[in-house]
Structure 1
């Protein structure tokens, strides 16, 4: 059995876990997430602890993958996930217009980003963006889409970067 799949998932208070014929649903205070039931993986809940097991030897890798995804789902509906982005550059600003994110990134036009369902965007300052949600994959995907509008360039470091991201700077050409 996979070492990852052997590790149990503790279900915090307020988190419900349900398995139907083809869906696995995790509900909590931050929302509800569902996953197509992985083939060959069995679920057992006892005393607020979820244990996964593979039905046969061929499904052992899938049990580990399913366990990692379900652990992220449980954490997401209980606490949520946040990704912080920073804008670096003169005149680079972010502001909220209702639920839409308005970015000034040095283009001739402002860039407007509409957040998908289940994602909350916030701008604590003009140069910070917080992407929050229950689905870890969706939070990362939205953060990557926002970053893609103006990736950090290697000469001056201007652009949108993840908080704490190190940009390897290049040396400019010498005459």
Structure 2
């Protein structure tokens, strides 16, 4: 495991109830799991991706995978609700069972430290920097790699599924 992933997995953020946590706290295999970090929103054209995120969670959770949702209201105010409203919406509308943590900022001077670090990862096209929209995805693997996928790449895209399957036990 590289220092970059160790550092990423140790950057604190707040949970939905206001407690401090790190990615390590959500790693089902203590540093050997695969985590998909996604900035989410409830009122976005991409919001139906919740369904695919939940399907990934159900399919791979028992092998050491988890989705971690980070609500963000920076893109046209598409996540305006309180944490209670966001959690209820995710559960009731999409049946979300994966963790959804406290609302954050992903861009700008007040961006969450985890997202400041994640944005250093280039996409497959070689682009890094700003989060472009809701549902940008970062897949952290035990070998130290971080794979970045743009918002329009669906969670069940073969490129994402191949990375997940390659890093989980059979």
TM-score, normalising length: structure 1: 0.22
TM-score, normalising length: structure 2: 0.22
Structure with higher helix content? 2
Q: Indicate the structure (1 or 2) with the bigger Cα radius of gyration.
A: 1
Structure with higher strand content? 1
